Structure 1
Amino acid sequence: MLDLKMIRQNPEMIKELLATRGVAAEQIDDLLAADAKRRQLLVQTEELKARRNKVSDQIGLKKRNKEDASDVIAEMQTVSAEIKQLDEQVEQIDDQIEQIALHLPNLPNETIPVGADEDANREEYKRGTIREFDFKPKAHYEIGEDLGILDFERAGKVAGSRFVYYVGQGARLERAVYNFMLDEHEKEGYTEMIPPYLVKDVAMYGTGQYPKFMDDAYRVGTNEEMTLIPTAEVPLTNYYRDEVIDADKLPISVTALTPAFREEAGSAGRDTRGLIRMHQFNKVEMVKFAKPDQSYAELDKMVANAENILQKLELPYHVITLSTGDMGFSAAKTNDLEVWMPAQDQYREISSVSNTESFQARRAHIQYRDEDGKLQYVHTLNGSGLAVGRAVAAILENYQNEDGTVDVPTVLVPYFGAEKIVPEADLHA
């Protein structure tokens, strides 16, 4: 959430910045009008409360002097009714302000490209060597189905489209990938956590998934609404909700493997086959809490942490900076890592690493005390380290052999227990 005081003091600058994110200037005007009305009502309320206190003193004086106080009692009742009415108006305006503010995205960092969509994204650099095949490479879902390690058909029978069964070596490969990732992040100073997979609405509001992305969430429960997490970012960031973190502990780095559940309401017709866009998938998430003057250095470290996984898996990738129009709602700056997918002959996103600055911390009330003892909002960062299913897809495509087998990346051999993936039928023959 944005700082209302900052908007009040710099309205034209805020309008200009948010215009690059598709926000109409009228939304800021409506917010400021509501804010001005609220402050006007508060002045009236304070004046009436002062009047009520004065009348209350007069009532006490009259009663002590055994005088008739009915006239001042009636006046106090009138004043109290007016105060109540004004308080109700303030409450309504507070709700209006909150609804407008909750729908405003974060301000973009000055270093990111301005543009309406992904066409304006900026490539920073490429890493790794793209393999030249002497045969036509297959898509990962074809490889997985041929090997008998991915079963989309039976998953469709049980759960519908965009679900999969990992079978035998497929399950073992997925487990090898995420255990490797967790071990690497632990070496880099992250504390591993196993968070709840269901969260309250306040947690979804805290990280900015609600109200904007409510249609993409799986909501469950009857009495108290709960949501299946779309990313571990939600429970990890909300770990310190409504708390003041000891400044000496910052920066704090945590990581977790969790399933992620997404309706993908706006992706009809996109990536309908394979592991790229699923309703349920595993993801290793990285989250950081930092002081404002630390956060962009920590963003660079987090990008390097995600790159480390791809480099050790020897998968070619590039790093891009997202434009104002392509960046996520809560982010001030986002770097995406996209891995090379031979069958598609293009890079595809495998990690998105963002600095939300104080945006999420304001919504979730996460603070620390600065050197002067004053409360300040922390900066929160999050990133995939990596999306596990997409990593499996990239391994299957980049390490495939013409005979249908798949070589296992060297760093995964100790986790997987073999150097090659062979057909499940041959393995158990």
Structure 2
Amino acid sequence: MLDIKFIRENPELVAKKSAEKDIKVDVKKLLEVDKIRLDLIQRVDALREKRNQVAEKMKGGKPDPSLVNEGKQIKLELASEEDLLKKAKQEFDDLLDDIPNMHADDTPIGGEENNQVIKVVGSAEKKEGVVDHLTWLEQRGFVDFERGAKVAGSKFFYSIGDLAKMELALTQFAVAEVEKHGFTPMIVPNLVNSRAIKGTGFAPKGEEKQIYKVEGEDLNLIATAEIPLTAYFADEIIDIDRLPICYVGYSPCYRVEGGAYGKHNKGIFRVHQFYKVEMYVFCAPEQSEQMHAKILEIEESIIAKLGIPYRVVNIASGDLGGPAYKKYDIEYFSPLDGRYRELTSCSNVTDYQARRMNIRYRDKDGQIKFLHTLNGTAMVTSRMPIAIIENSQDKNGNLNLPDVLKQTE
């Protein structure tokens, strides 16, 4: 969430940048409720003080009837004001929760069509005779969507044989590469409570739903390791000498919407379950821009070593989502149809998630402040195999696998 002080001082800016993210907010209403909330806090505090004073006077003998009556009146007034405060606080929290993070000033304004290509690496030429990944996998018996649907429903599948081995090799390679840069490996819980979901910004809004909820329990299947990684330091204060703290998490990821909103969704590209290696950083505010560049550099290095042609894209405001301040996507080139598709992403979330999860640090002067968090994809099993299969085929359909994967066999 944003600091309410920032919103009070910059209401027009907050409204403008929220609109540029295509997120509807009511800043005016928020500030009105904020004022009501503050007034009620003052009134409740005054009544509590008055109640305590009356209680003190009633000690040491039989109290005067007038004091008893005054105490009863205060109790009634206080109960009424506390009820109003509770309602005002809930309305305030709901309105504040709707406010997205601000975006960086160099963010392109607009929707997905306004994403800005800032770098292109590798050959981007269509090739004749390239077989799409789903056909290639099914011809060799490496994927089974039919039995996946029988067992779990549409968009679930079995990875078999060389596809399973490729996913395991990619995981091992990605974790090893990221670990070289000072990231500590972590295997995270696959179920988290609602606070973790809401705190990271994954709670459903509108028609789009990403999260599978366990009925009758305050538990949810994670959509990404980013969720439990963020919540790891919830309600904690970290000494600045420990920052930045870098983790590389591995987990399955579960998404309700497998192939929604007209996105490219053939084969394993957009499914309900996949596996991901996720980089995550906790750092001081002055470190976050540098750490964002570092995460992007690691992602590029991994993709380059896999021999995948790609481009780096600065994501436009309307495609950022609520938590991100700045986001880069890396898109792989498909020689099948000559198009680029998302492979990885990395986001600087500044203090947005840290405020929601109450994650703070103690600076050199002993002051307690909210830290910054960042996340980035090192490897995802629903995308990387596609990029390798489409870009590594020879004229006979055999794959010329990158050396880094051969080394993990």
Partner of residue 83 from structure 1, selected from 78, 83, 87 = 78
Partner of residue 103 from structure 1, selected from 87, 98, 102 = 98
Q: Is the 8 A contact 1:147 1:405 kept in 2?
A: no
Identify if the C-alpha distance between structure 1 residues 14 and 317 changes in structure 2 by more than 3 Å, giving closer, same or farther: same
Q: Counterpart of 2:66?
A: 71
CA distance in 2, matches of 1:156, 1:58: 73
Name the SS of the counterpart of 1:389 in structure 2: coil
* TM-score, length of structure 2 as denominator length: 0.95
CA distance in 1, matches of 2:121, 2:363: 39
Q: In the alignment, does 2:406 pair up with 1:413?
A: yes
Q: Residues 344-363 of structure 1 correspond to what in structure 2 (within 5 A)?
A: 344-363=337-356
Identify if the C-alpha distance between structure 1 residues 106 and 265 changes in structure 2 by more than 3 Å, giving closer, same or farther: farther
Shift of 1:221: 4.0
Shift of 1:136: 2.5
Q: Is the 8 A contact 1:240 1:366 kept in 2?
A: yes
Identify if the C-alpha distance between structure 1 residues 413 and 45 changes in structure 2 by more than 3 Å, giving closer, same or farther: same
Q: Counterpart of 1:392?
A: 385
Name the SS of the counterpart of 2:231 in structure 1: helix
Larger Rg: 1
Identify if the C-alpha distance between structure 1 residues 6 and 270 changes in structure 2 by more than 3 Å, giving closer, same or farther: closer
Name the SS of the counterpart of 2:78 in structure 1: helix
Name the SS of the counterpart of 1:415 in structure 2: coil
Q: Is the 8 A contact 1:141 1:273 kept in 2?
A: yes
Shift of 1:57: 4.6
Q: Is the 8 A contact 1:139 1:344 kept in 2?
A: no
Q: Counterpart of 2:327?
A: 334
Letter in 1 for 2:44: T
Partner of residue 220 from structure 2, selected from 222, 227, 234 = 227
Q: Is the 8 A contact 1:174 1:389 kept in 2?
A: no
Q: Counterpart of 1:10?
A: 10
Identical-residue share of aligned pairs (%): 37
Shift of 1:288: 0.4
Letter in 2 for 1:329: G
CA distance in 2, matches of 1:168, 1:277: 21
Q: Counterpart of 2:21?
A: 21
Name the SS of the counterpart of 2:369 in structure 1: strand
Q: Is the 8 A contact 1:146 1:404 kept in 2?
A: no
Q: Is the 8 A contact 2:239 2:363 kept in 1?
A: no
Partner of residue 128 from structure 1, selected from 119, 122, 130 = 122
Name the SS of the counterpart of 1:352 in structure 2: strand
Identify if the C-alpha distance between structure 1 residues 130 and 268 changes in structure 2 by more than 3 Å, giving closer, same or farther: closer
Name the SS of the counterpart of 2:355 in structure 1: helix
Letter in 2 for 1:82: E
Q: In the alignment, does 2:226 pair up with 1:218?
A: no
Shift of 1:211: 4.5
Partner of residue 151 from structure 1, selected from 126, 144, 153 = 144
* Aligned residue pair count: 408
Letter in 2 for 1:4: I
Cα RMSD of the aligned pairs, angstroms, is 1.8
Comparing 252-261 with 100-109, greater Cα deviation is found at 100-109
Name the SS of the counterpart of 2:124 in structure 1: coil
Name the SS of the counterpart of 2:408 in structure 1: helix
Identify if the C-alpha distance between structure 1 residues 156 and 272 changes in structure 2 by more than 3 Å, giving closer, same or farther: farther
Name the SS of the counterpart of 2:209 in structure 1: helix
Shift of 1:162: 1.4
CA distance in 2, matches of 1:191, 1:2: 29
Name the SS of the counterpart of 1:99 in structure 2: helix
Letter in 2 for 1:267: A
Q: Counterpart of 1:373?
A: 366
Shift of 1:44: 2.1
Q: Counterpart of 2:235?
A: 242
Superposed CA deviations along residues 203-251 of structure 1, whole A, max 9, x for unmatched, are 11121111438822111141x3211110000111111111111211101
Partner of residue 302 from structure 2, selected from 289, 297, 309 = 309
Letter in 1 for 2:31: L
Q: In the alignment, does 2:41 pair up with 1:46?
A: no
Shift of 1:132: 5.5
Q: Is the 8 A contact 2:314 2:327 kept in 1?
A: yes
Comparing 353-362 with 7-16, greater Cα deviation is found at 7-16
CA distance in 1, matches of 2:340, 2:263: 15
Shift of 1:157: 2.3
Q: In the alignment, does 2:176 pair up with 1:191?
A: no
Which 4+ runs in 1 deviate beyond 6 A? Answer: none
Shift of 1:268: 5.4
Q: Is the 8 A contact 2:258 2:270 kept in 1?
A: no
Shift of 1:54: 4.1
CA distance in 2, matches of 1:256, 1:226: 20
CA distance in 2, matches of 1:132, 1:343: 6
Superposed CA deviations along residues 86-139 of structure 1, whole A, max 9, x for unmatched, are 111111111111111222211111121111x10111111101223563x32111
Letter in 2 for 1:118: E
Specify every segment of 5 or more residues in structure 2 that has no aligned partner in the other structure, as ranges. none
Specify every segment of 5 or more residues in structure 1 that has no aligned partner in the other structure, as ranges. 417-429
CA distance in 1, matches of 2:126, 2:73: 85
Name the SS of the counterpart of 1:256 in structure 2: strand
Partner of residue 282 from structure 1, selected from 275, 278, 296 = 275
Shift of 1:266: 7.4
